[in-house]
Structure 1
Amino acid sequence: MAQNEPPAKKGQVQTTSPEMQTEVPPIGVTPPQVLAQEAADGHRGAAWRLMHWIMENDPRAVEAVSSLDDDRLAKYFLEFIALGTWAGKPFVVPKSLRTPYARMQLRTLFQPGAGIDSARAERVLLDALKDRHTSVRENAINILGLLGCTRAVPALVEELHDPQLTIRLQAAKALGRIRSAEAVPALLKELKEADEPLNSQVFIALVQIGPRATPALIEASKSPSSWMRWHCMRALGEIQDERAIPTLVQALLDNDHAVAWIAAKGLVNFGKDAIGPLLNLLTRVETSPWLAETAAYVLYEISMRYTRLKPYLEPVEQAIHGVASRIATPYAARKALSCLIADHVIAG
């Protein structure tokens, strides 16, 4: 059996600094199966010896972890990753177990087939979202995101309202990794109220969710809030789902210039697929100064990327910048559109 640390005397405070412990105590010959059970029972001596074998990539240690039917071991691994304690007690371990690499390797145990049973991992991680320690909740959220755990989405959505900003940031990051459309309405709601760091993380999450977020983003782009419309246009441009092209084209007419410009930048990402809808718009509406700027920008950028389009689009750009642009632009756009379709450059 693995030897445990001698109990501290009543009232005695442990003062040994982890940095002072540079030598690894004897590992012993206790089988990993026994170490795993003792570690689950809260014995710190067994815990660090088991982790030593895990760091050594010993398959017996991984097998011991995977075969033990006890949630406590997974719970204590998470506690050690987050707090450096074991079963709620101070835990002085060898230097090799105090590194970011060691914590990363222990997080890997929660991955499917890597050690901890998947159902147990999810159960322990979801339960950890109620833990009083912020660091434990942060790490649980992080691992749930890495697992792509769709069953965690409702709980992670709730974490978007946690008083701690770090928890809200981790929740948004995890929801992006999971890529569930179920999370999109909650993420969009955060855009209305969040501060800058959370806004940035919510935006990244929406882009990661990708085309699944497109319908909700298109709907939210009708918001009376220019702040919301700007973020929606930016996300739609990054996701590059063709269903968003009509919305982005229409946004070139937005009464907020910032929204119109971010829509124009997004349209450039669609390349020649954006040309037909844009030229159609120019044939139907009056070319205001704002529309002239944004439309000319899109036409120029796309023609630079697709040189075959330049002979068709250059006359439209010239019409937009001409003295009679309001009259000349619709005519030039209509002619360019007809020629592009006739030459089978774009679909009719």
Structure 2
Amino acid sequence: MEFFDPSPENNTGNVAITSDTTPVQDEHPPVGITPPQVLAQEAADGHRGAAWRLMHWIMDNDPRAFTAVASLEDNRLAQHFIEFLALGTWAGKPFTIPIAFRLAHFRTRLRTLFLPESGMDPTRVEQVLLAAVRDKRPAIRETAVHILGLVGSRTATPVLIRALHDPVLVVRVQAIKALGRTHDPAAIPPLFEILHSANERLGSQISQALVSLGSIAVPELLRECNSHNAWLRWQCARVMGELCDQRTLPALVHMLADSDYSVAWMAAKSLVHYGRDSLVPVLQQLVMAETSSWAANAGAYVLHNLYTHDVTLKPYLLPVEQAMHGVSYNIATPNEARKALAKLAADGIVKI
């Protein structure tokens, strides 16, 4: 039986508005006792009433509903779930639903059905999602790419890479996020390719994706941080600070003397994450490298944070910081940094 007349008086389970504009809650039709296995098959056939009842079982977290969905050998149910999540329709038809079905928690529960060992057969899920990524409707593509990211399968990497060039921005954003969850090294070069010309929003999303990819992104970061593009160097410094991988420490220290002020500052902010590990490399950089005004400020920021978090370092680092803020910073800084290194080594605090 279908009961989805869109007129207000027949919007089952939703709020109707009376003539005096007072909201009243319509009475829900009975969920009934039809087994979820039957409801799942009928929902796959496109029956909205069965889908409505099946979703009630799912919302109630009844294991029989999840078993029914998982055991159904029919791609259509998964396709309808994607359509419902993306468009709010079922099998191409309007689908009036209770307010509870619109809540984020319930939508998350539906997405969970696509995850390995949580619902539908993984092979079926992959087939349906990969087909949906090619759908002409942007909302369907966006939803499919989002769920592929939650699944995290490397099999989807080529499809997600192609989605980086989707004509719709929200699809591209979801593809970036999804690639970050694959932990696939093949995702890294395409992300950097997009980063070269990305705007601020996409740049932030790509940076987070690279952080999610973790240590496998380090070799490419070390290559790209020498780019002629200051925007790219800035993003590399930002990601390296989030990863805090020891392999990136020398590169960040070198970037304190970057020709671009914003890159030098991002390198300084990132070095703070390394704590004492940055102490000797930063001081050595101050001894060896030519000190520009912004390199002095960036270096002073790192040293100040070091002795703020470890007061035993203050007597050694404060004179260096003061020299960096002085008028003759370019002359005084290397001398004070050299003295600090010697004293730290003499007192057994560091090894050089």
TM-score by length of 1: 0.89
1:60 Cα offset (Å)? 1.4
- Match for residue 340 of structure 1? 344
- When residues 276 and 92 of structure 1 are mapped into structure 2, their CA distance, relative to the original with a 3 A threshold, is same
Say if 1:23 and 1:338 are closer, same or farther in 2 by CA, change over 3 A: same
SS in 1 for 2:120: coil
Matched, 1:195 2:222: no
Q: 1:23 to 1:105 in 2, by over 3 A?
A: farther
For residues 295 and 98 of structure 1, what CA distance do their matches in structure 2 show?
Answer: 51
Shift in CA distance, 148/345, structure 1 to aligned 2, threshold 3 Å: farther
Instruction: Quote the RMSD (CA, aligned, Å).
Output: 2.2
Q: TM-score of the superposition, structure 2-length normalised?
A: 0.88
- Relative to 1, partners in 2 of residues 1:124 and 1:227: Cα closer, same or farther, differing over 3 Å? same
Aligned to 1:216: 220
Partner in structure 2 of residue 163 of structure 1: 167
Matched, 1:16 2:7: yes
Match of 2:44 among 40, 65, 77: 40
Distance 1:222 1:84 in 2: 47
Question: CA separation of 1:251/1:40 partners in 2, compared to 1, >3 Å: closer, same or farther?
Answer: same
User: 2:243 aligned with 1:246, yes or no?
Assistant: no
Select 1:86's aligned residue among 90, 110, 129: 90
Deviation of 1:323 (Å): 5.2
Q: Is the 8 A contact 1:278 1:295 kept in 2?
A: yes
- Which stretch of the first structure deviates more once superposed, 122-131 or 171-180? 171-180
Partner of 2:190: 186
Q: Name the counterpart of 2:2.
A: 5
Deviation string 1:257-291 (CA, Å, 9 cap, x unpaired) is 11111111211221111111111112223333332
1:91–1:323 Cα change, 3 Å = closer
Identify if the C-alpha distance between structure 1 residues 254 and 96 changes in structure 2 by more than 3 Å, giving closer, same or farther: closer
In the alignment of these two chains, the number of paired residues is 339
Residue equivalent to 1:148: 152
Alpha-carbon contact 2:6-2:96 (below 8 Å) kept: no
Q: Which range is displaced more, 187-196 or 58-67?
A: 187-196
| Aligned counterpart for 2:291 among listed residues 287, 291, 296 | 287
Residues 97-138 of structure 1, C-alpha deviations (whole Å, 9 max, x = no match): 343333222112112222212222222112210112211111
How far 1:96 sits from its partner (Å)?
A: 3.4
Query: Quick one: which amino acid aligns to residue 5 of structure 1?
Result: E
Distance 2:50 2:97 in 1: 11
Shift of 1:327: 4.1
**SS of residue matched to 1:346:** coil
Task: Give the 3 Å change call, closer, same or farther, for CA 95–327 of structure 1 in structure 2.
Answer: closer
Asked whether the equivalents of residues 272 and 346 of structure 1 are also in contact (C-alpha less than 8 Å), the reply is no
Question: What's the CA shift string for 1:4-28, capped at 9, x where partnerless?
Answer: 328x9xxxxx643444483222222
Identity among equivalent positions (%) equals 53
C-alpha distance in structure 2 between counterparts of 1:281 and 1:247, whole Å: 11
Q: CA deviation at 1:336?
A: 2.0
**Which ranges in structure 2 are unaligned for 5 or more consecutive residues?**
17-24
| Deviation by residue 1:39-94 (Cα, 9 ceiling, x = unmatched) | 22222222222111111222211111111111111111111111122222222334
